[in-house]
Amino acid sequence: MWKNLKTMITYYGKYKAVFWLDLVFAAISASIVLMIPLLVRYVTATLIYETPEVIVAQGKWIAIGLVILIVVDFGCKFYISNIGHVMGTWIEYDMRAEIFNHLQRLSFTFFDNQKVGALMSRITNDLFDITELMHHGPENIILSVIKIAGAIAILISINWKLAIAAIVVLPFMFAFSYILNKKMRGAFRNNRVKIAEINGQIEDNLSGIRVVKSFANEEIENRKFKIGNDGFLSAKKNSYFYMGVFQAGVGTFTTIVQVVVIVSGILLISGGQVTATDLVTFMLYIGVLTEPINTLINFTEQFQNGYTGFERFREIMDTVPDITDKKGAKPMEIKDGEIQFSNVSFRYEDANDAVLSNVNLTVPAGAYYALVGSSGAGKSTLCSLIPRFYDVTEGSITIDGKDVRDVTLHSLRNQIGIVQQDVYLFAGTIYENILYGRPDATREEVIAAAKSANAHDFIMSMPDGYDTDIGQRGVKLSGGQKQRLSIARVFLKNPPILIFDEATSALDNESEKVVQDSLESLAANRTTIVIAHRLSTIRNAQQILVLTEQGIEEQGTHEELMERYGIYRGLYDMQFKN
């Protein structure tokens, strides 16, 4: 916990001046509150016994002083509420930028085990509560400590016996708070988990809303959501139970302090040890003493929310990317594009069985190779190892003789173009999505890439041409249109190595023909690996590799493999038996 708190404090570094001024103004505001009861005591114990002229003369200066205190207190509170909140917003801005940047560096392995909604919860809800704590926490502590310490000191100076009566209850109050705090911390952390789960469920449902509606499964989704929502409700009830015990308990202790002071004051007045004026002053300071205790009650909830949020924030930030640039890695420029797999084996994290075992393969520069095989044989995994989306468990992969682990990730991935079956287009325009392939490209280059991908004609038929908004994930486009945009994006990138991951398997015959022409145009003079489901699309491949759980079992041209009557011939006959 202390390690996390020390880390949290470092985020104030850029805003030291604002932070310290915030604390100074909090201290001034607390001091002003302490001064008011002393003025009341002076008026009731001393000034009222003076002549009317003296009362009026001194009263005038007291009034002027009070106005000055009010103005100063207003300025302090305004700074705390305005500038202090802006500081909290800047810290939230910095932390959100930091976690977003960190997420960009994490590998596929991390995202394989995460839900998008849960990650969104950490970037939004958790960060808001963290920065609320970081803004209000220090000033609330300063305000409370100064008021409590100042009130106790003043009470002791007025009458130490009555002060002891007021103070004697406080240790029991703080012991009670400490015990309940531990209970509340666990409850609030559980709240965070449940909120993240609900966000993940909502994100999953909304992303797949077309599937939900196509199966008329709205009621099933409602039932699934109810289970998660019930879990969240239960967690909230648990946390509010402990919070209720805490607040009721502290409120009761506050009342006990007041009762003890009143009873003790009556006894001391009867013995002539306390004046009525002092008792009135004591009761005023009891208010000053208990108000910061209420502030600490609110701070406790805020601390639990903020600190558990920070713990979850650090869980992400402390996740070390498992795929990074090796020390001394240098940028790579692919000149030829020869790819070589040497004794490559791979298994996913926490998996017992290897997906690939001792794969040996050389793809010559500029060659057009195809991978076929049953689902689960590791075709996509094999290709994902080339740009280091995952790292090999054993063996090595080289490009132009250089191990891909010895070069920078940016330079490696920047020279590999990938066209996938599941096309992802960003919300925005057609132009923006093609430009994503090379953000510094000109509009003429974007149009040229679209023409090369056989996309220009359909783009120009759209309402706003290249500036047409395509909706979330390109929902306004057909499958073939989305695929051609993804190909145009890679045309613009112009990489020396291409990977086609079943890029036409989800298309109708007409769209497949157009997209296939685009792919073959893109593959010209580049090292290309095609993962194919439709075997008709790879007849022109220079080599076809048949991948099974045992590795590469067959290799050759379409004609050669057909003549062998092996696995490939069986797959082909099954697909074209009619």
pLDDT at 11: 87
Share of the chain above pLDDT 90, in %: 13
Q: For the chain, how long is the longest CA-to-CA vector?
A: 124
Give the pLDDT of residue 511: 64
Give the model confidence (pLDDT) of 160-188 as tens digits: 888 888 788 878 887 887 788 778 777 87
Q: What is the DSSP string of 185-206?
A: HHHHHHHHHHHHHHHHHHHHHH
- For residue 156, pLDDT over 90 is answered with no
Pairing between strand 543-548 and 416-420? unpaired
pLDDT over threshold 60, residue 549: yes
Give dist(CA 360, CA 166) in Å, integer: 82
d(CA 66, CA 72): 10
What does the block give as tokens for 254? Answer: 């506050």
Are residues 44 and 277 in contact, defined by beta-carbon separation less than 8 angstroms? Answer: yes
**8 Å CB contact between 109 and 322:** yes
Residue 73: burial class (beta carbons within 10 Å; 0-12, 13-18, 19+) = middle
Phi, psi of 343 (to 5 degrees): 50, 45
Taking phi first (over 0 means left), then psi (-120 to 50 degrees means alpha), and beta for anything else, what does residue 310 get?
alpha
pLDDT of residue 339: 93
Q: Which helix (H) or strand (E) holds 371?
A: strand 368-372
Pairwise pLDDT comparison (17 vs 272), residue with the higher score: 17
Q: Which of 256-270, 302-316, 477-491, 496-510 has the lowest mean pLDDT?
A: 496-510
**Is the CB of residue 398 less than 8 Å from the CB of residue 405?**
no
Convert the pLDDT of each residue in 389-410 to its tens digit: 889 999 999 999 999 999 998 8
Residue type, 502: E
Assign 84 a pLDDT band (cuts: 50, 70, 90).
Answer: confident
The highest-level CATH class for domain 2-317 is mainly alpha
Q: How large is the average pLDDT for residues 430-452?
A: 90
Six-digit token pair at 25?
A: 């103004």
Mean of the pLDDT values across residues 280-285? 79
- Over residues 412-416, mean pLDDT: 90
**pLDDT value at residue 158:** 82
Contact 293, 172 (CB under 8 A): no
Average pLDDT, the chain: 84
Rounded distance between C-alpha atoms, residue 395 and residue 159, angstroms: 82
Contact 190/239 with Cβ under 8 angstroms? yes
Q: H or E segment at 552?
A: strand 551-556
Structure tokens at 382: 């094999």
Q: Residues 200, 225: contact at Cβ < 8 Å?
A: no
- The enclosing H or E element of 341 equals strand 339-346
| pLDDT tens, position by position, 109-139 | 888 777 777 787 778 778 888 888 888 888 8
Residue 520: exposure state from Cβ atoms within 10 A (0-12, 13-18, ≥19): middle
pLDDT at 328: 86
- For the cut 60, the answer to whether the pLDDT of residue 447 exceeds it is yes
Q: Phi and psi dihedrals of 555, rounded to 5?
A: -150, 135
Average pLDDT over residues 364-380: 86
Q: What is the pLDDT of residue 396?
A: 94
Q: Is the pLDDT of residue 506 over 70?
A: no
- Distance (Å) of CA 575 to CA 20, 285, 502: 73, 88, 15
Per-residue pLDDT for 578 more than 60? no
Lowest mean pLDDT among 301-310, 433-442, 537-546, 563-572: 301-310
Give mean pLDDT, residues 292-316.
80
In the prediction, which pLDDT does 231 show?
Answer: 84
DSSP element (H, E) containing 88: helix 83-105
Please list, residue by residue across 134-144, b when 16 or more beta carbons sit within 10 angstroms of its beta carbon and e when fewer do.
Answer: bbbbbbbbbbb
Is 558's pLDDT higher than 60? yes
Query: Looking at residue 508, what is its pLDDT?
Result: 60
State the burial class of residue 516 (Cβ atoms within 10 Å of its Cβ: 0-12, 13-18, 19+): buried
Using CA atoms, how far residue 123 sits from 131, 188, 282, 324, in Å, is 12, 17, 48, 23
φ, ψ dihedrals at 497, nearest 5° = -125, 135
Q: What is the Cα 305 distance to its own chain's centre?
A: 16
- Where along the chain do its domains lie? 2-317, 427-494
Q: 46-50, 165-169, 209-213, 415-419: which has the minimum mean pLDDT? A: 209-213
Residue 71, pLDDT above cutoff 90: yes
Judged on CB neighbours under 10 Å (0-12, 13-18, 19+), 37 is buried
Residue 341 has pLDDT above 80, yes or no: yes
DSSP state of 326: P
As a whole number of Å, the CA-based R_g of the chain is: 35
Q: What is the pLDDT of residue 85?
A: 82
Kindly give the pairing relationship between strand 497-501 and strand 394-399. unpaired
